[in-house]
Amino acid sequence: MANLLTNLFREPDLRKRVLFTIWCLIIFRIGAHITTPGIDPARLKDMIENVMHSHKALGNLLSYIDLFSGGALKQFTIFALGVMPYISISIIMQLLMTVVPQLEQLGKEGEMGRRKIQQYTKYGTVIMCIIQSATISRWIASNEGVVVEGLKNHQFFFTVLVVVSITSGTMFLMWLGEQISERGIGNGISLLIFAGIAARIPGAFIRTLDLVKQGNFNPVAFILVLLIFSVIIFFVVYEQEGQRRIPVQFARKIVGRKVYGAQNTYIPFKINPSGVIPIIFASAIVMFPAQIASMLGNKFPAFTQLIAYLSPGQIPYMMIYGLLVIAFAYLYTTIQFNPVEIADNLKKSGGYIPGIRPGQHTQEYLQKILTRITLSGSLFLAFIAVFPDVILKIDMFSELDRGLAYLMGGTSLLILVSVDLDTMKQIESQLMMRNYDGFMSKGRRRK
């Protein structure tokens, strides 16, 4: 490992990229502790603790949403929404590109079209931030003493201040993510989410250890939790890296006086073609009504029942969440992989799948393979998504810190694993380009 780190920092360009990425992540974590103007931090902390203890459904909902902002939502900082509005709008834009001909045409126009779509995505992100931050500001203002004295009787100005601060914070994070992608290592937006989740793991472990020391949580149960999470991590890595390889052969070609022999290759279909996107999108869909209801619960008591049904840990929530994950897994796989297009490209290039006729038969075969792969992948995603809620339902683990359960399982675990694997692969490719062995090799420079 020492050799690997030496090689990583030996090349000036690679060292500069890594240090730039680290610096950007530090800026992100600093901003996650800057409270939004107009808020009394001490009163805000008391209000959050009261919500967590007095309103269990709302507290669970708040804790779950707070995962994606790295703890910034509970502290009501300028990064309270994180980059989730951008992620949600990006996924919506990808879905719209399949049903709106104008957007689909833009996607086929190369770099200019992608820039235009990115511009629409940013506009949508601003609108989403305005709606969510305004809703949150109304909820904060409804609690006595949280808003500072000077703005207590000026709710409109307080709402404008909150909307501008949080929307600007989210747009800054978008820019920061783009800078990491261009000048650093890895996907910037994904790394920001990764950093927010990873930063909370030590605190969750400390709280759980305190529960064990105080006798409120069984030490045997704590050890079992660690073993279960280790097994889950193993299967998540296996599922993220697993592939179904479809063999493909190409016939001999005669070009001039040269004869090119038959070539054997394969089409790699991942076990989970859609990645973590179905879980993120399902989370946004199932949590948005509950989030709005929770913010308006004081004025509309009927929404309290909706919060109870759609809060994490409840049976209706788990059923709806799991079904949405499966549905979006199929939908996103359909968007990403078109068996008709793949079959046509194989036919045009002279390739074929052994034992399968080119054309319609190849299309049907690929469709059947994709359906089976997506079924297994979506069921696994649905299980991982509801796993923290399931384990907290077991009596032995009912006192487990909810933060640790959600951080080490479900959506958070998938994000941590997928981002880590993607970043490691990028570093690996950078080392290989500079004639170094990668992380899986001996870690010395090849001559």
pLDDT digits 0-9 by tens, 282-311: 776 776 666 666 555 555 566 666 666 667
CA atoms 163, 165, 170, 172: torsion sign? positive
User: In angstroms, rounded to a whole number, what is the distance separating the alpha carbons of residues 192 and 425?
Assistant: 18
Tell me the pLDDT tens digit for each residue of 209-235. 888 888 888 888 888 888 888 888 888
Which pLDDT value is given to residue 179? 92
Is there a contact between 70 and 197 (Cβ–Cβ < 8 Å)?
A: yes
pLDDT digits (tens, 9 = 90+) for 55-102: 655 666 676 667 767 777 778 888 888 888 888 888 788 778 877 888
Q: Which amino acid makes up residue 258?
A: K
Terminal Cα distance for the chain, rounded: 20
Tell me which amino acid residue 169 is: G
pLDDT in tens, 254-272: 555 665 555 677 788 888 7
The pLDDT of residue 127 is 92
**How is the chain split into domains, by residue range?**
1-199, 242-408
The CATH fold of domain 1-199: Preprotein translocase SecY subunit (1.10.3370)
Do 1-199 and 242-408 share a fold? yes
For 157, 200, 210, 229, the CA distances from 219, given in Å and listed in that order, are 51, 22, 11, 15
Whole-number mean pLDDT of the chain? 79
Q: How many helices (H) and strands (E) does the chain have?
A: 19, 5
Q: What distance lies between CA 22 and its chain's CA centroid?
A: 20
Q: Which residue has the tokens 């989210």?
A: 170
pLDDT in tens, 109-165: 777 888 888 888 999 999 989 988 888 888 788 777 788 877 777 778 888 998 999
Task: Return the pLDDT at 289.
Answer: 66
| DSSP-derived 3-state class of residue 437 | coil
How many whole angstroms separate alpha carbon 149 and alpha carbon 6? 55
Superfamily of chain region 242-408: SecY subunit domain (1.10.3370.10)
Residue 10 Cα to chain centre, angstroms: 32
pLDDT band at 316 (very low <50, low <70, confident <90, very high): confident
Give me the residue label for tokens 């946004």.
Answer: 284
Q: Are 50 and 58 in contact (CB under 8 A)?
A: no
Q: What is the pTM of this model?
A: 0.79
- Residue 251: per-residue pLDDT: 67
Of 176, 172, 189, residue with least CA distance to 20:
176
SS3 for 29-42 is: HHHCCCECCCECHH
**Sign of the CA dihedral 172, 177, 180, 182?**
negative
With beta carbons less than 8 A apart as the criterion, state whether 134 and 157 touch.
no
Please name the residue that has the structure tokens 């309103």. 55
Residue 167 half-sphere exposure toward CB, CA atoms < 13 A: 21
If we measure between CA atoms, which residue out of 266, 379, 273 comes closest to residue 332? 273
Say what the pLDDT of residue 446 is: 47
What's the token pair of residue 114? 């992608």
Confidence of residue 414 (pLDDT cuts 50, 70, 90): confident
- C-alpha pair distances (Å), 377 with each of 44, 269, 274, 278, 342: 41, 11, 9, 11, 21
DSSP lists the bridge partners of residue 39 as: 147
- pLDDT of residue 174 exceeding 80, the answer is yes
Q: Which pLDDT belongs to residue 230?
A: 85
In degrees, rounded to 5, the angle at the alpha carbon of residue 126 between the alpha carbons of residues 122 and 124 is 55
